[in-house]
A and B are shown apart, each in its own frame.
Chain A
Amino acid sequence: MDLLRSSVLTLIVFLPAVGSVIVALMPKEKEDLIKKFSIWWSVIPLLLTTWLAIDYAMNFLRGNQMAYQAKFAWIPSIGVNYHVGADGLSVPLLFLTALLTTLGLYYSARVIRKRVKEFFLLFLLLATGMFGVFVSLDLILFYVFWEIGLVPMYFLIGIWGNPKDRPQYAAIKFFLYTLAGSIFMLLAMIGVYLSTGTFDILDAAAKGVWLNAPMFATLSFWAFFIAFAIKVPSFPFHTWLPDAHTAAPTAGSVILAGVLLKLGAYGILRVLLSLFPGQFAQFGWIVALLGVIGIVYGAFVSLAQTDLKRLIAYSSVSHMGYIMLGIGAVGVALGMKNVAGAKESAAMAFNGASLQMFMHGIITGALFFLVGVIYERAHTRDLKVFGGLSAVVPVYYATMMFAGFASLGLPGLAGFWAEFFTFRGAFGIVPALAVIGVIGIVITAAYILYRIIQSLFLGEFDPKRWDHWTTVFGEHADGPTDMALFEKVTLWPLVILMVLLGLWPTPLLAFFNEASVNILSSLHF
């Protein structure tokens, strides 16, 4: 058991990479084999993360212990270690990553038709990068995984992107923008080393970074922040997102929205919050302000969209705003240690932000799959050509209703809890900003119902309005066909999660709540 516990994270991280090497050795023509192998191979990390979640909940949850640690020297000359571990914040995100990876591979096996080998190879490699970020406890390791995630996504967008959506442009924009941010991060990491003599996140946090040089501390804070804010993305660094999302293939968008964006938010909570609590307390209001602007601005821009995928991309900007608001509120609360109730509110805001990371992953993941479902049939995402689908494709309609209402934060579905906790926390700390954020809730309802539901599903179905329908397998069809079995298998697990977590978020919340309470305590709150 101890052996398993100390190696499980390494297995989760590197199994996908091993898988992609195996795929690389397979002959290109054996597409079927490549697909089957990749899917089943990805199930192993999924099972491992499931086991991880159960085991963690049973043995390590109380006190938010950093469990499953493995540490050995990697580049001893500069004290870089291979140091991994997981706590209540990372365990659910590992599970989310594994789930969306498997679903993405499974879905792609049916709809990716060109350069199959490379696609699956890159997709598996991507998983390694994402898992790696969530388990790294060493800054350099963190950085390496951060960058590893970038490369496969660049190709997924550039090669398998829809030619109509300028995929090369979108891919380069995504790559360069993130890379530019990570240069700052690398510099700041070196700064951490210069200050503390270690790259280890836990050690550095314990020692305190640039305690005697507030100027450097502030600079490092902003250098990290920019890297993370670009990744989230937070307003005003968000413009790569709609382009990248619109161009990316369906599974790419799912991973991008479901996991990659969370890397930024996770980085803020894991690295920035623990290394620079003082700066966080000082500048938390800016983070919260950017969050609020993101919420409202993103919602309004979503309302102006007529391209379904671009709409959902912008809705992500808005939803990421909730995370930034929650995190910013936590920061502001750090400076309010003597105010009654501030700790409770900070814990709620932390919970809200981390819940939003998970919930947005399943909800927007599902929404992007749902875009894929209609796009594979209609070969357009222009909302103006649809209408009346509710009567024609009821299963698709029902699935979209669950995802759409979860996204607008309907109580009883997953998204509500994230919103509720975020606002509960934010109103206790930065009420003036939270009030503005509330406008976003109304506008979100407007774009989901007015743009998505009404344009796609309501009204009378007119077969004459659009005549390029095919089935999902590319055969000619007279109209839209309802979801195929593989699409149901992809989407329904996510819908079930939305309903279950909507009614009973406790199992998930237990992880995040332990994490928030203990991380805040460790900051002497």
Chain B
Amino acid sequence: MNYPSVFNLTWLIPLPTALAFFAIILFANPKKRLSSNIAVGAVILAWIMSWAVAIVFFLNPELTEHPFDLSVPWLPMGTITFHMGVAVDAVTAGMLFMVGFVLTMIFIYSTGYMSFPGHLDPEKYPDAAKEGLDPRYSRFFAYISLFATGMLGLVVANNLLMLFIFWEIMGLCSYLLIGFWFDKSYPDPKQITPKQAGLKAFLTTRVGDVLFMMGLIFLFIHAGDLNFQAIFGNQEFLHELSTSTVNLPFFGAVTWAGLISMLIFWGAIGKSAQFPLHVWLPDAMEGPTPVSALIHAATMVSAGVYLIVRMSPLFSAAAHGGSGVMMFVAFIGAFTALFAATIAVAQKDIKKVLAYSTISQLGYMFAALGIGAWVAAIIHLLIHAFFKSLLFMASGSVIHGVEHGHHHVHEHGEHGHEGYFDPQDMFNMGGLLKRMPVTGWTFIIGGASLSAFPLITAGFWSKDEILAHAWADGHMAVYWTLAAGAFLTAFYTFRQIFLTFFGSPRTEAAEHAPESVRAMTWPLVALAFFALFGGFVAVPEDFPVVGGIASDFMAKLMELQGEFYGLHVAPAEFNWTPALISMTLALSGIVVAWLVYGWKPLAAGKPDPLRRWLGPIYVVLENKYYFDEFYHLVAVRPTLWLASFFYLFDRGVIDRIVNWVGAFGRWLAAALRKWIDEFIIDAAVNGAGLVTTWTGAVVRLIQTGQAQNYLLILLLSVVVLLLLIPLK
């Protein structure tokens, strides 16, 4: 097979940003603009290479039959050698297309966003305040460069171990970036701070990661290799894995394929913030907004979905072997989709709504994977990344605007310090469309796409495909759960849009909010293009009217790839019933939101009308079903308690026994010496020499502190040995 030579670039894709990371932390660090220029330059280079590889692949669909794979020997492991390398198939190409572009947009956006933060005292950082840049601006670009390396490396990895390595590097960057403003604190001690949020994110995902690592290790033990093509090209092995069983305590006999899939899925649950490990993602919004767009919308969280997409042949083999793991994936996905959507309804923080919507949308993807709608999951993964990063960055632009408005009001001295002002609270906004037209309109486009506004948005095509599949394959429970989620999605998204952009400003800060700089608005426009038209690469052919006009080449390409991996990927036949139901639900969600928040805009200081109507339910939703409190009670507190207990045990029991033995030895030594001196001096020469030596050492240690004594004892031991052995 002759591959287009551009594929040889693949292994270079993660490299520029890695070099940028080291260049910034080692050299460029003191020069802020230089640092961001290096990072942006590197990511543009990575983008160009990604698109070159992706587009060449798109133009050669026959490559789906022969995925590109390039390995070099890396680790000697016993008698085998582990190879590391890169691979390109349709999924990789699709991911590269999306990741390269979104990363670049986010990097450019960040050069505008990372200005001097509002919570810092300009007098403490006079230089940074004068430049108007964050005091740790360079550090930010170093971190996101390393992150980009992690994501690009994960996408091109040709084996699960390499994927895991980059997966963890992203986890590190996520930790660093969420806690980027580690010195920030809030007047309310209960409100989570960035440093706590970073820790929570790392530890929660770590739980999933160790399970993932276990799955990886078991797969390695059975397959003897972790290369994707080697494992999935070997139907015999997959079959064997799905028939051989292992007995587990509590679970009984399960197939190896089922166990390994389940363990790997837990890695995805952690990384993609699915129930029950979803708790870290909303708090991760403490990071700077580009980070939310980068990590918590477009790339890292979708890596969990990518992992399951990648491992699907194993999951499907497990399902064939009678394992319920696919059903579990579908259940977790569908449940999370609805569960997170309900929480999003009652949030007041503009970013938290988006965070819960991300969790919910990732749930759609997992549900799709669980019911076997492999292609639909990939398409939704790609399109979601575009519109969700758009929404996050637009919300960042809003926050920036409101913060600036707040400063503006203060500088003009009209008000004193009236206490803490939350620039992310949607109830402090309103009417921003007039003040920030580019941000506003792009946000609306992104929101419409998220709500699956029929026909003209990308989100409609991708989400509709999932629902159509659920209906066609008879997964009615999944279908209705996701449909209910779709209604809520449209509702909370337009609730957000009406609260933020329509009506009249509810605070002076909102009244004076300026539009953001071009470095921030241009990426929004570019992403809005994909949020609207990205869906026209996957319009089902048999969709009335539109199907004939638009293309479905992406869906076709993924189908071919899925077939190559032995998955059942036939597209769902078009059916009016589910299509109409989902359209109706999406539109009615928008209408309801308009009735509540758009028709009569909320006045300043008025509570959310939902609070009155939902009563205690609203409080439960607002508090996220009290999951944080629950985990604190059952996980955090017992861990810390156990730690203290073990430490007390260590000092009070184990060490005390050691000291008792020591005291006893001291007593015995003194007694023995006395006894030996008085009664059997002769015997010391034969045989008891050892004891004497030991006793002497012990006693002298206590009595003196001279080096020569010890050396003497050592010498003595040798002499005694000489005497002792011939006597044998």
Do A and B pair up? The answer is yes
> B-contacting residues of A (Cβ < 8 Å)?
75, 77-78, 140, 144, 147-148, 151, 154-155, 158, 172-173, 175-177, 179-180, 183, 186, 190, 193-194, 236, 238-240, 297, 300-305, 341, 343-345, 347-348, 351, 388, 390-391, 394, 398, 405, 410-412, 416, 420-421, 423-424, 427-428, 435, 438, 441-443, 445-446, 449-450, 454, 457-461, 504-506, 509-510, 513-514, 516-517
In the complex, what residues of B have CB within 8 A of residue A193's CB?
725
Cβ-defined contact, A410 with B221, below 8 A: no
Cβ-defined contact, A240 with B639, below 8 A: no
Cβ-defined contact, B79 with A347, below 8 A: yes
In the complex, what residues of A have CB within 8 A of residue B642's CB?
300
Interface of B: prevailing SS: helix
Q: How far is the CA of A238 from the CA of B161 in the complex (A)?
A: 34
| CB proximity of B164 to chain A, nearest CB, Å | 6
Cβ-defined contact, A75 with B722, below 8 A: yes
Cβ-defined contact, B694 with A190, below 8 A: no
Most buried by B among A140, A300, A303: A300
Size bin of chain B's contact surface: 35 or more
Q: A239-B654, A304-B646 are in contact. Are A176 and B195 (CB under 8 A)?
A: no
Cβ-defined contact, B714 with A405, below 8 A: no
Cβ-defined contact, B195 with A441, below 8 A: no
Cβ-defined contact, B665 with A517, below 8 A: no
In the complex, what residues of A have CB within 8 A of residue B665's CB?
176, 180
Cβ-defined contact, B75 with A509, below 8 A: yes
Q: How far is the CA of A316 from the CA of B705 in the complex (A)?
A: 29
Q: How far is the CA of A250 from the CA of B499 in the complex (A)?
A: 59
Q: How far is the CA of A38 from the CA of B160 in the complex (A)?
A: 48
User: Contact check: which of B179, B640, B647, B690 meets A458 at CB < 8 Å?
Assistant: B179
Cβ-defined contact, B199 with A441, below 8 A: no
Q: How far is the CA of A300 from the CA of B645 in the complex (A)?
A: 9
Q: How far is the CA of A238 from the CA of B647 in the complex (A)?
A: 13
Q: How far is the CA of A107 from the CA of B167 in the complex (A)?
A: 37
A sample of 30 cross-chain residue pairs with beta-carbon separation below 8 angstroms, ordered by A number, consists of A75-B718, A78-B721, A173-B662, A176-B698, A183-B694, A190-B725, A239-B655, A240-B658, A300-B642, A300-B643, A301-B643, A304-B647, A341-B224, A343-B78, A343-B79, A344-B224, A391-B183, A410-B169, A412-B169, A416-B168, A420-B213, A423-B217, A427-B221, A435-B214, A438-B210, A438-B214, A449-B202, A458-B179, A458-B183, A458-B195
Chain B residue, CB-CB nearest to A521? B79
Q: How far is the CA of A454 from the CA of B75 in the complex (A)?
A: 35
In the complex, what residues of A have CB within 8 A of residue B182's CB?
388, 390, 457-459
The 3 A-B pairs at the shortest CB distance, nearest first, are namely A347-B78, A411-B165, A304-B647
B136 interface residue per 8 A CB criterion? yes
17 further A-B contacts with Cβ under 8 Å, apart from A442-B203, A506-B75, are A155-B707, A176-B698, A301-B650, A351-B77, A411-B164, A411-B168, A412-B169, A427-B221, A441-B213, A443-B643, A445-B203, A449-B175, A459-B182, A459-B183, A506-B74, A509-B76, A517-B78
| CB proximity of A525 to chain B, nearest CB, Å | 11
**A-B pairs under 8 A by CB, number:** 181
Q: How far is the CA of A505 from the CA of B77 in the complex (A)?
A: 11
> Which residues of chain B from 168 to 213 have a CB within 8 Å of any chain A CB?
168-169, 172, 175, 179, 182-183, 185, 195, 199, 202-203, 206-207, 210, 213
B697 interface residue per 8 A CB criterion? yes
Cβ-defined contact, B694 with A303, below 8 A: no
Chain B 626-655 against A: per-residue CB contact (8 Å), 1 yes, 0 no? 000000000000011011101100100011
Q: How far is the CA of A435 from the CA of B217 in the complex (A)?
A: 11
Q: How far is the CA of A506 from the CA of B702 in the complex (A)?
A: 48
Chain A residue, CB-CB nearest to B246? A431
B701 interface residue per 8 A CB criterion? yes
> A-contacting residues of B (Cβ < 8 Å)?
25, 74-80, 135-136, 139, 161, 164-169, 172, 175, 179, 182-183, 185, 195, 199, 202-203, 206-207, 210, 213-214, 217-218, 220-221, 224, 639-640, 642-644, 646-647, 650, 654-655, 658, 662, 665, 690, 694, 697-698, 701-702, 705, 707, 710-711, 714, 717-718, 721-722, 724-726, 728
Cβ-defined contact, B658 with A303, below 8 A: no
Interface of A: prevailing SS: helix
Chain A residue, CB-CB nearest to B153? A412
| CB proximity of A99 to chain B, nearest CB, Å | 22
User: Contact check: which of B199, B217, B697 meets A179 at CB < 8 Å?
Assistant: B697
User: Contact check: which of B80, B172, B214, B725 meets A344 at CB < 8 Å?
Assistant: B80
Cβ-defined contact, A172 with B195, below 8 A: no
User: Contact check: which of A194, A303, A410, A506 meets B640 at CB < 8 Å?
Assistant: A303
Chain A residue, CB-CB nearest to B218? A427
Most buried by A among B182, B644, B726: B182
Q: How far is the CA of A304 from the CA of B185 in the complex (A)?
A: 25
Cβ-defined contact, A344 with B79, below 8 A: yes
Cβ-defined contact, B662 with A148, below 8 A: no
In the complex, what residues of A have CB within 8 A of residue B658's CB?
173, 177, 239-240
Q: How far is the CA of A345 from the CA of B77 in the complex (A)?
A: 9
| CB proximity of A193 to chain B, nearest CB, Å | 7
Q: How far is the CA of A120 from the CA of B482 in the complex (A)?
A: 72
Q: How far is the CA of A177 from the CA of B697 in the complex (A)?
A: 12
Q: How far is the CA of A345 from the CA of B135 in the complex (A)?
A: 50
Chain A residue, CB-CB nearest to B182? A458
| CB proximity of B706 to chain A, nearest CB, Å | 10
Q: How far is the CA of A377 from the CA of B80 in the complex (A)?
A: 49
Q: How far is the CA of A36 from the CA of B318 in the complex (A)?
A: 66
Cβ-defined contact, A449 with B77, below 8 A: no
In the complex, what residues of B have CB within 8 A of residue A394's CB?
139
| CB proximity of A81 to chain B, nearest CB, Å | 14
Cβ-defined contact, B172 with A410, below 8 A: yes
Q: How far is the CA of A514 from the CA of B79 in the complex (A)?
A: 9
Q: How far is the CA of A183 from the CA of B690 in the complex (A)?
A: 9
Cβ-defined contact, B207 with A442, below 8 A: yes
In the complex, what residues of A have CB within 8 A of residue B206's CB?
441-442, 445
Most buried by A among B640, B697, B702, B721: B721
In the complex, what residues of B have CB within 8 A of residue A297's CB?
646, 650
Cβ-defined contact, A405 with B705, below 8 A: no
Cβ-defined contact, A300 with B710, below 8 A: no
| CB proximity of B34 to chain A, nearest CB, Å | 17
User: Contact check: which of B79, B655, B718 meets A144 at CB < 8 Å?
Assistant: B718
